[in-house]
């Protein structure tokens, strides 16, 4: 195998204000090899790769491409050096076709020969085993098709080095396998591939070599044959963490939320939830699986009163109280009616947090109305902020430091910590560990388990099936706004859940 | 391939800068702006040192000039305070001009109806009762004017920028109609008569009492924005409507309430202008204050106390410019240019407080040594 060096980063440093994102990192990317870049949240993986992609410019250090020193000051420079990156958020124009997106921004004559472009796209697709329709509009595409298009875009531009930032976060297991097959073909073709991921099993099944970052510094690299998940985790977090989620048997379960024929239609008349039926019990964790956009967000938002319900009933029964219907109540009423609901929104900053405020200001989002008089009370939120900071090990210079400037994982800790602190009786969380490193993820799993033991009905929307299978008691699978099935998490297999995510099952084998 | 195209400079985000250095950068940029201004004076064949001297002496030399400066600064500060909560909420209220004007109409109504009449208001001294009525009237009118765009925005999501802007012209149109119609003094004069003495604001240290009002307001707005529940709601809403909704805030009501407050304060400023400075109402009563105050609010970064400094600075420049024309024959338009340059440099200084430029080569060598 040809494994000469494609890109070499030497002593690269990047700072953002007081935060050192990368501290003298030296990294080699080789041709014909899949390198997995592993690290905790805020360890600087994406920042490091963004410097290769031309989005950031290093404060110091040097970059060599094919042995020659290179200056990459813009994405255009990156392309000129054959480096391309696929970001977590796709950068495609919705109203244009696949072919049009591919040539977008390329220099060329005044006339565009879209047929020639389409022919070349098909050629690339055939070579690497993609399936793609060059004439298809982006808004008609599934997430996985969009990702394929992003990859083709890079290959069309002659990228020799491909960087993928958490590519599997949005894919089903089947789609992930397909992507990995394509990546393996590209590897055989001599491309250098870097994949940023948190999922250890993906690292071990796909990568040839793993490079580990911790707190912005390079910890080391290992060939995949010479390591195992436990060692990699140790390298990432710097200390031993247990890889087992302890799952207790549910005790004293009682129906907490009974949802009957819940139907939600959005502003544009699209049915987002279609006659959804299920019951969530106190003292258990109900996992919700589904491809992104299958109605998870609408389900949680309609329970929280943030999303108008077309029809159906949400019957809430607090411990020792009479049931009441939550439909038609405002978020505030749902809260003040004794329904303490903790909601970790999908889009953590856009919805759950105020980026410009510090931890204290954000803790106040839950309690700002409390206390008499016209003035806000800072004391309790201040104490709560300190508590969350200590217990969840939030890295921040100060409790009043704007959370926008914290790293993604720390932002999420602030959010989850606050939600749990409200001592809810139904705890809903969507993607609570999205993008979190293993160590922090486990902190959050433990918090969820603690809530379950306290008799809380925990609803956990997740994207990592391994975690759902290990953490939850039951798993409800949504497919296109419908309940595709409800399974016992202790007996169901990942493949079975994956099938339910992509095909409508029997429609929920009743409330098991 | 362009191998060695190293950018000469690049931007690096600063760590939090100590306040002392931040103010030093602001001072330096003020000096830099004055240097560029000096070039313009030189081009015109004037002595820049003398020109700057004349601006200062014209604005601060005599007591009457200083009083005039405060007179200019009072409405600027007042309206900057009024729009600060809106801007914090990211509600782009550029309708202060109209809210001032309508507030002035409200005050004028009471001044014309009751001033010098009914025995009670016939004295030669300002009447507290009448002034309170005028203040209340102006605040209600200003608040009403602000309510209209706020209501449409809260209810149907209309664009508040265009809406508030258009409301300005309607307000000015109404005054023009009043001037030529119902409130016209001498027939054909197109002028509303001067207010009776009972409807004029008393003076303290030679300037109408409005300056005390706006100073008190400065403290009140500071406390309101920083320590009250309302202030917290405004800050959250400004960051994200979704977050506000999620925290159980009534977004529509907060929008309307904040605009009511803003309009009321702008209206009050209108009252101070007609009753304290102009002694009557005419269509140019706001005189651009509603727009200049936006500059004041932004330069002060919505900090009420900084607004005092900025509004005084602008007032000094504006008053000094008049002197420049009479003494040195430099047209006032030139001092407008100088003012523009200073504002631009001060806005730019905020950028350099957040980022620093580093020479690319030097930096990498330094890093290696370290």
Distance CA A467, CA A232 (A): 18
Relative orientation angle of helices B210-227 and B304-328, to the nearest 10 degrees: 140
pLDDT band for B171, please (50, 70, 90 cuts): very high
Q: Evaluate whether residue A246 is within a structural domain.
A: no
Residues A319 and A357 in one domain: no
Residues A302 and A355 in one domain: no
Q: Evaluate whether residue A18 is within a structural domain.
A: yes
Distance CA A451, CA A474 (A): 16
Residues in chain B closer than 8 A to A357 (CB atoms): 235-236, 239
Asked if the C-beta of A267 comes within 8 angstroms of chain B's C-beta atoms, the answer is no
Q: B139: Cβ–Cβ under 8 A, 6 or more apart, which residues?
A: B103, B106, B264, B265, B267, B268, B271
Q: Evaluate whether residue A242 is within a structural domain.
A: no
Interface test with B, best of A14, A17, A404 (most B CBs within 10 A): A17
State yes or no: ipTM above 0.85.
no
Main-chain dihedrals φ then ψ at residue A182, nearest 5 degrees: -60, -45
Q: Evaluate whether residue B38 is within a structural domain.
A: no
Q: A309: Cβ–Cβ under 8 A, 6 or more apart, which residues?
A: A262, A263, A264, A302, A327, A328
Q: Do B243 and A351 touch (CB under 8 A)?
A: yes
Residue span of the structural domain in which B211 resides: 76-309
Q: Do A60 and B3 touch (CB under 8 A)?
A: no
Residues in chain A closer than 8 A to B225 (CB atoms): none
Nearest CA among A269, A343, A275 for reference residue A305: A343
Q: Which of A330, A354, A376 sits opposite B240 (nearest CB)?
A: A354
Residue A339: the pLDDT is 58
Nearest CA among A26, A31, A4 for reference residue A160: A31
Bridge partners, residue A287, by sequence? A460, A475
Cβ-count burial of B174 within 10 angstroms (0-12 exposed, 13-18 middle, 19+ buried)? middle
Q: Evaluate whether residue A290 is within a structural domain.
A: yes
What is the count of structural domains for chain A? Answer: 3
Q: Do A70 and B230 touch (CB under 8 A)?
A: no
Residues A26 and A138 in one domain: yes
Bridge partners, residue A311, by sequence? A263
Q: Which of A306, A365, A375 sits opposite B228 (nearest CB)?
A: A375
Interface test with A, best of B227, B229, B249 (most A CBs within 10 A): B229
Residue B45: the pLDDT is 83
Work out the percent of chain B whose per-residue pLDDT is above 90: 36
pLDDT in tens, chain A (512 residues): 445 888 999 999 988 766 788 889 999 999 999 999 987 666 788 889 999 998 888 988 999 998 888 888 888 888 889 999 988 778 888 888 888 888 887 776 667 778 888 888 888 888 888 888 888 888 888 888 888 898 898 888 888 999 998 888 777 778 888 889 989 998 998 889 999 887 777 888 889 999 988 878 898 888 888 887 778 777 776 654 445 677 788 877 888 889 999 999 877 777 888 899 999 988 899 999 887 678 888 888 888 888 888 889 888 887 777 788 888 887 777 776 555 655 565 555 556 788 888 888 888 887 777 777 778 877 788 888 888 888 777 888 888 888 877 776 778 788 878 877 777 788 888 877 766 667 777 878 888 888 888 888 889 888 777 788 888 999 998 887 888 889 898 888 777 777 777 666 654 444 33
Distance CA A66, CA A71 (A): 13
Q: Do B248 and A331 touch (CB under 8 A)?
A: yes
Q: B20: Cβ–Cβ under 8 A, 6 or more apart, which residues?
A: none
Residue pairs between chains A and B whose CB atoms are closer than 8 Å: 102
**Contact predicate B105/B182, CB 8 Å:** no
B225-244 residues touching A, CB cutoff 8 A = 227-233, 235-236, 239-240, 242-243
Give A29 or B334, the one with higher predicted confidence: A29
Q: Among A196, A215, A237, give the residue marking a domain's end.
A: A237
Asked if the C-beta of B369 comes within 8 angstroms of chain A's C-beta atoms, the answer is no
Asked if the C-beta of A57 comes within 8 angstroms of chain B's C-beta atoms, the answer is yes
Query: What DSSP character marks residue B353?
Result: H
Nearest CA among A352, A336, A421 for reference residue A386: A421
Q: Which of A13, A77, A345 sits opposite B246 (nearest CB)?
A: A345
Q: Evaluate whether residue B233 is within a structural domain.
A: yes
Q: Which two structure tokens, joined as six digits, stand for A22? A: 């990368």
Q: Which of B227, B235, B245 sits opposite A357 (nearest CB)?
A: B235
Residue B368: the pLDDT is 41
Q: Which of A57, A331, A365 sits opposite B10 (nearest CB)?
A: A57
Residues A137 and A227 in one domain: yes
Distance CA A332, CA A55 (A): 42
Residue A466: the pLDDT is 77
Q: H-type helices in A105-214, by residue range?
A: 114-128, 143-156, 173-188, 200-206
Q: Evaluate whether residue B70 is within a structural domain.
A: no
Give the containing element (helix H, strand E) for A420. Answer: helix A408-421
Q: Evaluate whether residue A244 is within a structural domain.
A: no
Q: A476: Cβ–Cβ under 8 A, 6 or more apart, which residues?
A: A278, A286, A287, A288, A289, A483, A485, A486, A508
What is the count of structural domains for chain B? Answer: 1
Residues in chain A closer than 8 A to B6 (CB atoms): 71
Give B109 or B333, the one with higher predicted confidence: B109
Mind listing the pLDDT tens digit for each residue in B197-227?
888 888 888 788 889 999 999 999 999 998 8
Q: Do A364 and B231 touch (CB under 8 A)?
A: no
Using DSSP, state whether B61 is helix, strand or coil: coil
Mean pLDDT score, B265-287: 90
Sign of CA dihedral A232, A11, A158, A67: negative
**Contact predicate A303/A257, CB 8 Å:** yes
A75-114 residues touching B, CB cutoff 8 A = 77, 80-81
Asked if the C-beta of B301 comes within 8 angstroms of chain A's C-beta atoms, the answer is no
**Contact predicate A425/A282, CB 8 Å:** yes
Tally of CB atoms within 10 A around A455? 18
Distance CA A322, CA A316 (A): 8
Using DSSP, state whether B358 is helix, strand or coil: strand
Asked if the C-beta of A308 comes within 8 angstroms of chain B's C-beta atoms, the answer is no
Q: Evaluate whether residue A245 is within a structural domain.
A: no
Bridge partners, residue A161, by sequence? A83, A192
Mean pLDDT score, B64-75: 90
B243-262 residues touching A, CB cutoff 8 A = 243, 245-248
Tally of CB atoms within 10 A around B56? 13
Q: Evaluate whether residue A410 is within a structural domain.
A: yes
Tally of CB atoms within 10 A around B176? 14
Residue B85 has pLDDT above 90, yes or no: yes
Mind listing the pLDDT tens digit for each residue in B92-137?
989 999 999 999 999 999 998 887 777 677 777 888 888 999 999 9
Q: Which of A71, A354, A361 sits opposite B6 (nearest CB)?
A: A71
| Residue labelled with tokens 């992507």 | A179
The percent helix, strand, coil of chain A (3-state, each to 5) is 35, 25, 40
Residue A436: the pLDDT is 67
Q: H-type helices in A306-378, by residue range?
A: 331-336, 359-367
Q: Do B243 and A366 touch (CB under 8 A)?
A: no
Q: Which two structure tokens, joined as six digits, stand for A233? A: 């985790």
How close is the nearest chain A Cα to the Cα of B325, in Å? 46
Residue B361: the pLDDT is 53
Tally of CB atoms within 10 A around B243? 22
Q: A113: Cβ–Cβ under 8 A, 6 or more apart, which residues?
A: none
Q: Which two structure tokens, joined as six digits, stand for B201? A: 């604001």
Chain B residue nearest residue A415, CA to CA: B243
Phi-psi region of B205 (alpha: psi -120 to 50; beta: other; left: phi over 0): left
Distance CA B93, CA A444 (A): 43
How close is the nearest chain B Cα to the Cα of A327, in Å? 16
Distance CA B265, CA B225 (A): 15
Bridge partners, residue B12, by sequence? B356
Chain B residue nearest residue A64, CA to CA: B3
Residues in chain A closer than 8 A to B10 (CB atoms): 57, 73
Residue B5 has pLDDT above 70, yes or no: no
Residue B7: the pLDDT is 63
Q: Evaluate whether residue B215 is within a structural domain.
A: yes
**Contact predicate B35/B42, CB 8 Å:** no
Main-chain dihedrals φ then ψ at residue A158, nearest 5 degrees: 80, 30
Using DSSP, state whether A312 is helix, strand or coil: strand
Q: What pTM does this model have?
A: 0.70
Using only the alpha carbons of chain A, give its radius of gyration.
24
Distance CA B222, CA B81 (A): 9
Q: Which of A59, A69, A364 sits opposite B367 (nearest CB)?
A: A59
Phi-psi region of A371 (alpha: psi -120 to 50; beta: other; left: phi over 0): left
Residues in chain A closer than 8 A to B231 (CB atoms): 376
Q: Do B232 and A368 touch (CB under 8 A)?
A: yes
Tally of CB atoms within 10 A around A476? 25
How close is the nearest chain A Cα to the Cα of B126, in Å? 35
Half-sphere exposure in the Cβ direction for A323 (13 Å, CA): 12
Asked if the C-beta of A335 comes within 8 angstroms of chain B's C-beta atoms, the answer is yes
Residues A129 and A275 in one domain: no
Residue A511: the pLDDT is 39
Residues A104 and A40 in one domain: yes
Residue A401: the pLDDT is 85
Asked if the C-beta of B12 comes within 8 angstroms of chain A's C-beta atoms, the answer is yes
Q: Determine how β-strand A341-344 pairs with β-strand A426-430.
A: parallel
Q: Which two structure tokens, joined as six digits, stand for A117? A: 């472009």
Q: Do A364 and B240 touch (CB under 8 A)?
A: no
Residues in chain B closer than 8 A to A61 (CB atoms): 364, 367
Residues in chain B closer than 8 A to A335 (CB atoms): 248
Using DSSP, state whether B359 is helix, strand or coil: strand
Using DSSP, state whether A80 is helix, strand or coil: helix
Chain B residue nearest residue A10, CA to CA: B368
Q: Evaluate whether residue A345 is within a structural domain.
A: no
Distance CA A297, CA B242 (A): 14
Residue span of the structural domain in which A205 resides: 5-237
Residue A158: the pLDDT is 86
Chain A residue nearest residue B354, CA to CA: A17
- CATH number at A24 reads 3.40.50.300
Q: Which of A71, A73, A350 sits opposite B242 (nearest CB)?
A: A350
The number of residues in chain B equals 370
Give the containing element (helix H, strand E) for B282. Answer: none
Q: Evaluate whether residue B35 is within a structural domain.
A: no
Q: Do B248 and A375 touch (CB under 8 A)?
A: no
Q: H-type helices in chain B, by residue range?
A: 19-43, 48-60, 63-88, 96-114, 128-156, 160-180, 210-227, 229-239, 241-246, 251-272, 289-299, 304-328, 332-354, 360-369
């Amino acid at each position: 195998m040809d494994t000469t060096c494609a890109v070499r980063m030497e002593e690269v440093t990047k700072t953002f204000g007081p935060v050192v994102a990368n501290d003298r990192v030296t990294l080699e990317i080789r041709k014909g090899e899949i390198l997995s870049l592993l690290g905790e949240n805020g360890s600087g993986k994406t920042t490091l790769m963004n410097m290769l992609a031309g989005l950031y410019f290093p404060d110091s250090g040097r970059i060599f491409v094919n042995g020659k020193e290179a200056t990459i000051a813009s994405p255009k420079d990156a392309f000129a050096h054959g480096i391309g990156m696929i970001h977590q958020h796709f950068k495609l124009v919705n109203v244009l076709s696949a072919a049009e997106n591919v040539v977008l921004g390329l220099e060329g004559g005044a006339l565009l020969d879209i047929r020639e472009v389409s022919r070349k796209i098909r050629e690339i697709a055939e070579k690497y085993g993609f399936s793609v329709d060059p004439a298809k509009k982006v808004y008609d595409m599934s997430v996985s098709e969009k990702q394929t298009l992003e990859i083709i875009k890079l290959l069309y531009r002659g990228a020799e080095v491909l960087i993928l930032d958490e590519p599997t976060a949005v894919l089903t297991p089947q789609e992930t396998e397909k992507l990995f097959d394509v990546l393996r073909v590209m590897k055989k073709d001599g491309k250098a591939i870097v994949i940023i991921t948190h999922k250890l099993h993906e690292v071990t099944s796909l990568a040839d070599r793993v490079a580990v970052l911790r707190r912005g510094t390079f910890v080391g690299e290992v060939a995949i044959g010479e390591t195992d998940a436990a060692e990699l985790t140790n390298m990432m977090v710097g200390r031993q963490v247990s890889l087992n989620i302890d799952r207790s048997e549910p005790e004293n379960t009682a129906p907490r939320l009974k949802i009957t024929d819940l139907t939600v239609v959005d502003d544009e008349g699209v049915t987002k939830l279609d006659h959804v039926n299920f019951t969530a019990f106190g003292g258990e964790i109900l996992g919700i699986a589904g491809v992104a956009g299958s109605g998870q967000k609408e389900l949680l938002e309609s329970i929280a009163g943030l999303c108008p319900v077309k029809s159906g009933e949400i019957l809430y029964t607090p411990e020792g109280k009479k049931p009441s219907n939550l439909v038609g109540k405002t978020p505030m009423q749902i809260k003040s009616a004794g329904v303490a609901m903790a909601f970790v929104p999908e889009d953590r900053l856009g919805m759950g947090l105020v980026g410009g405020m510090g931890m204290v200001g954000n803790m106040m989002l839950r309690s700002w109305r409390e206390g008499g008089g016209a003035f806000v009370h800072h004391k309790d939120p201040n104490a709560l902020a300190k508590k969350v900071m200590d217990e969840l090990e939030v890295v921040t210079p100060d409790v009043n430091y704007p959370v926008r400037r914290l790293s993604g994982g720390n932002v999420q800790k602030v959010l989850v910590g606050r939600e749990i602190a409200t001592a809810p009786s139904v705890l809903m969380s969507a993607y609570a560990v999205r993008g979190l490193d293993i160590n922090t993820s486990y902190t959050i799993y433990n918090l969820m388990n603690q809530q379950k033991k306290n008799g809380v009905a925990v609803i956990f929307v997740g994207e990592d099936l391994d975690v759902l299978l290990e953490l939850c008691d039951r798993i409800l699978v949504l497919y296109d706004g419908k309940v595709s099935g409800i399974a016992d998490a202790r007996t169901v297999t990942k493949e079975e859940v994956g099938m339910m995510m992509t095909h409508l099952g029997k429609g929920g084998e009743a409330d098991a | 391939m362009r191998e060695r195209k190293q950018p000469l400079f690049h931007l690096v985000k600063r760590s939090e800068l100590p306040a002392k250095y931040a103010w030093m950068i602001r001072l330096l940029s003020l000096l830099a702006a004055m240097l560029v201004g000096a070039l313009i004076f030189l081009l015109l064949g004037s002595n820049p040192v003398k020109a700057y001297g004349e601006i200062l002496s014209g604005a601060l030399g005599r007591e009457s000039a200083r009083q005039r400066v405060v007179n200019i600064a009072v409405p600027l500060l007042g309206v900057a305070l009024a729009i600060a909560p809106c801007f914090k909420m990211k509600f782009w209220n550029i309708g202060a001009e109209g809210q001032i004007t309508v507030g002035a109409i409200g005050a004028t109504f009471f001044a014309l109806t009751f001033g010098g009449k009914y025995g009670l208001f016939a004295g030669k001294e300002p009447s507290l009762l009448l002034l309170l009525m005028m203040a209340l009237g102006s605040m209600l009118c200003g608040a009403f004017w602000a309510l209209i765009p706020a209501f449409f925005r809260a209810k149907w999501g209309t664009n508040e920028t265009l809406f508030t802007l258009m409301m300005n012209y309607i307000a000015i149109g109404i005054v023009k109609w009043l001037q030529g119609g119902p409130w016209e003094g001498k027939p054909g004069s197109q002028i509303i008569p001067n207010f009776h003495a009972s409807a004029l604001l008393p003076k303290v240290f030679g300037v109408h009492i409005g300056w005390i009002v706006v100073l008190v307001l400065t403290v009140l707005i500071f406390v309101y924005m920083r320590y009250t529940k309302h202030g917290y709601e405004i800050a959250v809403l400004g960051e994200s409507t979704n977050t506000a909704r999620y925290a159980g805030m009534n977004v529509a009501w907060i929008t309307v309430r904040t605009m009511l407050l803003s309009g009321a304060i702008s209206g009050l400023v209108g009252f101070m202008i007609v009753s304290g400075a102009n002694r009557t109402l005419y269509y140019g009563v706001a005189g651009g204050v509603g727009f200049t105050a936006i500059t004041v609010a932004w330069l002060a970064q919505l900090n009420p106390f900084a607004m005092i400094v900025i509004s005084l600075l602008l007032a000094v420049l504006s008053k000094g410019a008049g002197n420049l024309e009479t003494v040195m024959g430099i047209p006032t338009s030139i001092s407008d240019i100088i003012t523009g340059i200073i504002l631009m440099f001060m806005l730019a200084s905020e950028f350099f407080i957040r980022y620093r430029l580093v020479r690319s080569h030097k930096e990498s060598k330094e890093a290696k040594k370290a």
